[in-house]
Amino acid sequence: MINAMTDLYTQAAEAIQSAKHIYITAGAGMGVDSGLPDFRGDEGFWRAYPALRGYPFEEMANPKWFIKDPTRAWGFYGHRLNLYRATSPHEGFAVLRKWADAKDHFVFTSNVDGAFQKAGFESSKINECHGSLHHVQYVDPHLGQEIWSAEDVFVDVDMEKVRAVGDLPRRDGHLLRPNILMFGDWNWLAGRSAHQEDRNEAWLNEINPEEMVVIEMGAGTAIPTVRSQGNRWERHGATLIRINPRESHGSSATISIPCGAKEALLAIDALIH
Give the mean pLDDT of the chain.
94
Strand-pair category, 156-158 with 163-165: antiparallel
Categorize the per-residue pLDDT at 140 as very low, low, confident or very high, splitting at 50, 70 and 90: very high
* Full-model pTM: 0.95
- Rounded-to-10 torsion of CA 178, 179, 185, 190: 180
Residue-level pLDDT at 47: 83
Q: pLDDT-based confidence at 267, cuts 50/70/90? A: very high
Closest CA to 165 of 70, 243, 75, 90: 75
| DSSP secondary structure of 184-201 | T-S----HHHHHHHHHHH
Q: Tell me: the pLDDT tens digits for 10-20? A: 999 999 999 99
Task: Identify the CA nearest to 25 among candidates 200, 198, 270, 252.
Answer: 200
Q: Which of 31, 42, 20, 126 is nearest to 83 (CA)?
A: 31
- Strands, E assignment, the chain: 21-26, 104-109, 126-128, 131-138, 148-149, 156-158, 163-165, 170-171, 174-180, 212-217, 239-243, 255-257
Q: How many CB atoms lie within 10 A of CB 206?
A: 9
Residue 112 to residue 55: CA distance in whole angstroms: 21
For domain 2-272, the question of CATH label 3.40.50.1220 is answered with yes
- Please report, for the chain, the start and end positions of each structural domain, with discontinuous segments joined by +: 2-272
Per-residue pLDDT for 121 more than 80? Answer: yes
